[in-house]
Amino acid sequence: MIELKNISKQFDIKGKGHKKKRTFVAVNQVNLTWKRGEFISIVGESGCGKSTLAKIIAGLISPSEGSLLLDEVENKINTQAQRARWAKVVQVVPQDPYASLNPVRKIRSSMGDALLYHKMAKRNELDHKIEEMLDLVGLNSKETLNKYPHQLSGGQRQRLVIARALSLDPDFLIADESVSMMDVSLRVGVLDYFKKIASERELGLLFITHDFRIARYISFDGKIAVMYLGNIVEFGDTQEVLSHPLHPYTQSLISAVPLIAGKERRIEEVIPKSFEVGKVYADRQQCPFADRCPFARTDCYEQKPLLKTYNGNGSSSTHQVACHYAEARELIENV
Ligand SMILES: Nc1ncnc2c1ncn2[C@@H]1O[C@H](COP(=O)(O)OP(=O)(O)OP(=O)(O)O)[C@@H](O)[C@H]1O
């Protein structure tokens, strides 16, 4: 089990017209528990901190605050050796497979390097191990080994980077917007690969996406975390959050999903006051969504709401929301 305790990541930035630098909060006090075999989707708009959070969990960058625990033991990832050990626990499948593959090296050497570095195979068994991994993701291993990345299709390259991540035999897999650059026709196939492989190997799967439909498809029986400006603003069982969203931001995102003709939207439509996402600075203590929230009141600009369990309306005890007025709005709507 991986646990994130109060994880934050801040960047010091010096904007145009600002003499002093300000501390920009990309990930803010995130708490999350992720078990082996569990599928979690993280959903949010571009720039809300999804990839930064993924990089922290994968040990690629260090958090500014907070701890990362593995099976209840605090895990520091500062040295090269610690990073190499963590790479066998968590692997990331990147957003852009083409950018993560060296264009002048054949698939054999792109795949082989990781296996040799992490001592997952000896030199004389390398080809056999790579072929095994390529076959696992449905690529013709004999044909693929000697190709360059540009000689593969988008879907094949995506499956290749899945194979590379799996070759280290991790317990947890993070897919960062892994189908966003693909044709719609290929997406379902690749999403099904993720589900099939993660289920067969009992991997924890963290799927990062800005698309609720993909989150629903991947983690239908799992969990969903909705992120806004570095904060998890709603968390719970996917089916419950999608059918009964509590945070105005989640409601606005669900309202924005285009409907297929003939389908009826069952939740009230919420339209944000502006389309500008903005930034969160360490010296601001307000609700991150207040500037855009159509229901914001004075308190929302003065005090940041914490993520709290919501028990109303028969919700499961895992449904959490960070909104001062979610409960009050629920009560009014149900009168
Ligand atoms: N090294 C860095 N220095 C300064 N700011 C950064 C750095 N890395 C990320 N950021 C900022 O942190 C915020 C969150 O970025 P991040 O890439 O995590 O967002 P995201 O939700 O994954 O977006 P996308 O869906 O577009 O990939 C953005 O405003 C980004 O500009």
ipTM for the complex shown: 0.95
154 within a domain of the structure (yes/no): no
Of 333, 297, 322, give the one whose Cα is nearest residue 28. 322
**Which protein residue's CA is at the shortest distance from atom 24 of ligand 1?**
46
183: domain CATH number is 3.40.50.300
Residues of the chain above pLDDT 70, percent: 89
In a domain, residue 176? The reply is yes
CA distance 10 to 280: 10
- The pLDDT tens digits for 285-335 are 899 999 999 998 999 999 999 999 987 766 667 899 999 988 777 655 654
Going from the Cα of 25 to the center of ligand 1, the distance in angstroms, rounded, reads 10
Q: Does 127 map to a domain?
A: no
- Please tell me the distance from the alpha carbon of residue 13 to that of residue 330, in angstroms, as a whole number: 39
Kindly report the protein residue whose alpha carbon is nearest to atom 25 of ligand 1: 46
**Which residues have CB under 6 Å of ligand 1?**
11, 26, 44, 46-52, 210
Helix axes 107-117, 154-166, angle to 10 degrees: 20
The SS3 assignment for 281 reads: strand
Q: Whose CA is nearest to atom 16 of ligand 1?
A: 49
At 86 the pLDDT is 93
User: 218-259 pLDDT, tens per residue?
Assistant: 999 999 999 999 999 999 999 999 988 999 999 988 887 766
Model pTM above 0.80 = yes
- Number of domains forming the structure of the chain: 1
Between helix 126-136 and helix 107-117 the angle, nearest 10°, is: 110
Which residues span the domain enclosing 186? 2-89+170-334
Residue 45 C-alpha to ligand 1 middle, in angstroms? 11
Q: How far does residue 50's CA lie from ligand 1's centre (Å)? A: 8
Beta strands (DSSP E) in 89-158 are 90-93
